[in-house]
A and B are shown apart, each in its own frame.
Chain A
């Protein structure tokens, strides 16, 4: 699993560093098409209430996608995104409600816990050399179990009212500040991967660990840092859910975040084999998922078929991506 096959190496060489721009234009067109279809079928889709609700859940989906994307960049994966998210949720509930700490401290504590849990994943992966899939599958269960044992699955319902009020805040009547935060996080990530040496090191380590190590990249440390970042981002997504619900619920996150966390980055053109990130693509991927979810809701098709749609879209996206790269390869090599 961890070894890159020769085919993926070929694809990787043909990819621009921040994901194919053409892929993102295509994705944007698909999102626009869905908006057109949904708004013409159900006028309620474009109501300011629905747009506001859509933006709020989009913010969460974007950050969940980022949380997975930063680990995919190293060629690993993090199945514990949802577990870390819910641990952070309950931690902030505990800090704000039981300890009565001021809000900034409560949020910082939750983000710190996310970072620590991510760090534990990273250390376990680097020290044992076992693939990230199995380590994070086990730690997801470990973290979730520990959270349930400690909190007894009792939600924190009496958070300071400012938390919920922030979630209900509307800028210009339709935009949630949560969405602004998500986009700001995206901007920070673009700077990280494009302009800082740490970001370049992460991508180098993901593209070819051995070559990166030979050129002096501390591969182990870079992987641990990526997992810390993933943990902090998962915690941030959890905090956004708290703002949306006005309460810290133990049913947040968990396995429900698994599919969305991969959908955003993979639709956006992030490679599973590592070495590339697509920050804007991840945002567009999340936009597609949120649009479809919201549209099916407005059309009252219901949540039951949603899973099928999301699965088929993911399949479709990876197949298209695969054939596009095969086609690009053939064209550059010429007819055989």
Chain B
């Protein structure tokens, strides 16, 4: 029994799954509103954007980098997406790929700057984050685009029972990412470079190209998050992404990603975002100060870091 328990504890998402189950049961007992169809729909809706934000950071963590500009790029994509539809009158089917391309382009800039100069990715993406936010504010002067196509707004609001249509995007992306990291050559190369850059070099992997790829993916995922956020809000707000930084690191790290690169977990990140959504929802239902969410998210990251450390020591990999 203890052997099984220990093995379970060593799976990175086991603690998360337990916390989610316990949290859900407690909330169901405490609040009759928790298990209503509408409340679950509300939770799932906020889950969609958060998960993609977490994924956007997860891919850079995987290659041993970080992307401070996830939120800033998200904001820029969101207002570009909104502007293309409202000002230029482009149809959704054209605006979405263009928005994703802008995200990927932002990621490409991050990747090339980091890889070509060899400068710390933190400082590069801190600088580009400021630049992206500056372009966003310069274009919009902080005024949102309100006139979104009805089809997009409907997509952001409609649901099947408790399941919002928005959920389709993160489910597809999660499946593709899982496949990418588990089964494809670039996915494996990405993790190999993150795990041990020298060894990856020696086995003939082009380290630079893989790092750039990770940043492009990160930018693309941030763009998907931005498009979903616009659909969810029904307007393209310049403030989209302003509060993504902490969340973007919290999700993969609570989900068991190694800060040094080389190890990430799509499932773990997903569970972490579910847990965060649950905590936020619990706070709302309990009518607690929203400031507690900020406090708890910080505490949760520290706890996760400590737990990962403990697990690494126990398995002798640390």
Contacts and interface: CB of A to CB of B under 8 A. Distances in A.
Interface of A: 1, 5, 7, 77, 124, 128-131, 133-135, 137-146, 148-149, 152-153, 255, 258-259, 262, 266, 272-273, 302-312, 314-315, 318-319, 322
B119 interface: yes
Contacts of B184: none
Interface stretch (B83-91, B127-135, B166-174, B269-277): B127-135
B296 interface: yes
A315 B127 contact: yes
B120 A141 contact: no
B291 interface: yes
Contacts of A148: 289, 291, 294-295
Interface in B107-156: 113, 117-120, 122-124, 126-135, 137-138, 141-142
A142 B302 contact: yes
Using C-beta atoms within 8 Å of the partner chain, give the interface range for chain B.
35 or more
Contact of A310 (B134, B135, B138, B302): B134
B122 A130 contact: no
Contacts of B127: 311-312, 314-315, 318
B249 A315 contact: no
A149 B141 CA distance: 32
A133 B66 contact: yes
Contact of B299 (A142, A305, A309, A322): A142
Contact of B297 (A141, A146, A304): A141
A152 B288 CA distance: 12
Interface in B279-297: 289, 291-297
Given A129-B309, A311-B134, A1 B295 contact: no
Instruction: Find the residue from B133, B259, B291 having the highest chain A CB count within 10 A.
Output: B291
B134 A128 contact: no
Contact of B295 (A129, A149, A153, A302): A149
Nearest to A142: B298
Contacts of B260: 1
Main SS class of interface, B: helix
B205 interface: no
B305 A130 contact: yes
A319 B130 contact: no
Contacts of A308: 130-131, 133-135, 138
A153 B294 CA distance: 13
Given A7-B118, A135-B305, A304-B138, A145 B296 contact: yes
A304 B130 contact: no
Given A133-B66, A145-B296, A145-B298, 12 more contacts: A134-B253, A134-B305, A137-B245, A140-B246, A255-B245, A272-B123, A305-B134, A307-B130, A308-B133, A318-B124, A322-B118, A322-B119
B122 A272 contact: yes
Given A153-B291, A304-B142, A318 B123 contact: yes
Given A134-B249, A146-B295, A139 B302 contact: yes
B264 interface: no
A322 B249 contact: no
Contacts of B295: 141-142, 145-146, 148-149
A307 B259 CA distance: 29
Nearest to A145: B295
A310 B297 CA distance: 29
B306 interface: yes
B310 to A, nearest CB: 10
A314 B126 contact: yes
A65 B295 CA distance: 26
A289 to B, nearest CB: 11
Contact of B259 (A131, A309, A322): A131
Given A5-B118, A134-B253, A262 B126 contact: yes
A315 B298 contact: no
Nearest to B118: A7
Nearest to B291: A148
9 tightest A-B CB contacts, nearest first: A308-B134, A145-B295, A311-B130, A311-B131, A307-B134, A142-B298, A141-B298, A145-B294, A148-B291
Nearest to A271: B120
7 contacts: A7-B118, A272-B123, A304-B137, A304-B141, A311-B133, A315-B131, A319-B119
